[in-house]
Amino acid sequence: MNKLPVVLLSLILTFFLLNNSFAQNDNANYIIVIHGGAGFMNEMMPESEKAVYYTALEEALNIGKTILENNGSSLDAVEKVVRFLEDHPGFNAGKGAVYTSEGKHELDASIMFGKDLSCGAVAGVTIIKNPISLARLVMEKTPHVLFAGTGADELGKKFGVELVENSYFDTEKAYQEYLRSKENVKGTVGCVALDKFGNISAATSTGGRTNKMPGRVGDSPLVNAGTYANNNTCGVSATGWGELFIRNTVAFNISALMEYKGYTLQQACDEMIRNRLPEGTGGVIAVDKNGNYYFSFNTKSMLRGVATSSGIFETKIWHDR
């Protein structure tokens, strides 16, 4: 029998396998991306104000990078990074959350672990200092996925998480937005990471939309809409007009386009954000299983950053800077 076809076939196979593994090696073995909300930030804003955001994003990235560098899990990285951004008054999450139409704060958050699709979320909490950590407790310590309102606040008490008065979330900037019934200027926060063990996690936290009706829940605490992570495809955290992200199941659809249609991360994100959503409605940050990352947004700005094991460390607000 002529062995030539077999030899040729194995050569071709070896070539592809090697090439593939080179491609893998080119990519980072850990990666973290963050966002601080999509919107319409004015490029003419004072340099000092820009510096506050860039510095916060850099500090957040460094928290996540240190965890991942030291063999930590992506789940710890995304939780700690989002906690930091919740504690920062410059963002619409935790301290700094926007006001409801009744002048109070109702906070939403979710977290997901791509290894086994486990996830946890809280919606409409009012006294939980760090909603993302309560979301993680929901995921790890209860048989459920989503707790809302007083039940979620009570669960926080039961787990002994740090509680605050609702007025703790007050900030002057969010109050001015509320008084003027203005669009959110401050942004929701989110983080997606791939660790050295190939596990992808995603987390999102928000105060919602300025002047929202009491009880309104957006996309951020909804796995599949505002947050998604799956080791077979990618992790996603969204920001923007929540109702549209819910209707279009944005975060899950990005993963589904990759899994079912073979889209690249970039194609999948752009399909949802640029082709399906109307202009000016939001964006996503995403990481795939091969260590690629991508930011897609159809607004003027999206506060964002990336850090990778291959040495990329970058923060940006507008499309080019």
Active site residues: 188
Cβ nearer to ligand ASP, comparing 72 with 240: 240
Element (H, E) at 315: strand 313-318
Q: Which residue has the tokens 């560098």?
A: 69
Residues 228 to 257 in contact with ligand ASP, rule: CB under 6 A = 239-240, 242
Q: Does 296 engage in binding with ligand ASP (CB under 6 A)?
A: no
Site string for ligand ASP, 115-154 (x = CB under 6 A): ----------------------------------------
Position 218 contacts ligand ASP (CB under 6 A) = yes
Cβ closest to ligand ASP, residue 136 vs residue 212:
212
Residue from 133, 188, 227, 296 that binds ligand ASP (CB under 6 A)?
Answer: 188
Helix (H, G, I), strand (E, B) or coil at 180: coil
Is residue 106 within 8 A of residue 125, CB to CB? The reply is: yes
Q: Which two tokens stand for residue 68?
A: 């991942």
Least distance to ligand ASP from the beta carbon of 178, Å?
A: 14
Work out how close the CB of 219 gets to ligand ASP at its nearest, in angstroms, rounded to a whole number.
5
Which tokens go with 120?
């946890």
Interface with ligand ASP includes 291 (CB under 6 A)? Answer: no
Query: Which residues are CB-neighbours of 132 under 8 A, at least 6 positions away?
Result: 79, 82, 83, 86, 109, 111, 203, 205
Residue 139 vs 277, nearer CB to ligand ASP: 277
Q: Is the dihedral of CA 10, 12, 18, 20 positive or negative?
A: negative
Residue 37 in the binding site for ligand ASP (CB under 6 A)? yes
Cα gap 99→160, rounded to integer Å: 26
Select from 12-20, 50-58, 214-222, 303-311 the region that touches ligand ASP (CB under 6 A): 214-222
Cα 160 to Cα 86, 124, 154, 220: the distances in Å are: 18, 18, 10, 24
Distance CA(266)–CA(272), nearest Å, equals: 10
Q: How far is the CB of 38 from ligand ASP (least distance, A)?
A: 7
- 226 or 291, CB closer to ligand ASP? 226
By CB under 6 A, residue 208 contacts ligand ASP: yes
Q: Choose the binding region for ligand ASP from 18-26, 131-139, 171-179, 202-210 (rule: CB under 6 A).
A: 202-210
220 is a contact residue toward ligand ASP (CB under 6 A): yes
| Minimum distance from residue 189 beta carbon to ligand ASP (Å) | 9
What whole-number distance in Å separates Cα of residue 8 and Cα of residue 18?
A: 15
Where does residue 69 fall: left (phi above 0), alpha (psi -120 to 50 degrees), or beta otherwise? alpha
Q: How far apart are CA 201 and CA 287, in angstroms?
A: 9
Minimum distance from CB of 22 to ligand ASP (Å)? 38
Q: Residues 37, 186: contact at Cβ < 8 Å?
A: yes
Residue with tokens 């080019």: 320
**Considering the complex, what minimum distance in angstroms separates the CB of residue 199 from ligand ASP?**
25
Q: Residue from 65, 83, 209, 304 that binds ligand ASP (CB under 6 A)?
A: 209
Binding range to ligand ASP, per CB under 6 A, among 14-22, 153-161, 212-220, 262-270: 212-220
| 8 Å CB contact between 171 and 146 | no
For the chain, the distance separating the N- and C-terminal CA atoms, rounded to the nearest angstrom, is 62
Q: By the criterion CB under 6 A, which residues form the site for ligand ASP?
A: 37, 184, 187-188, 206, 208-209, 218-220, 226, 239-240, 242
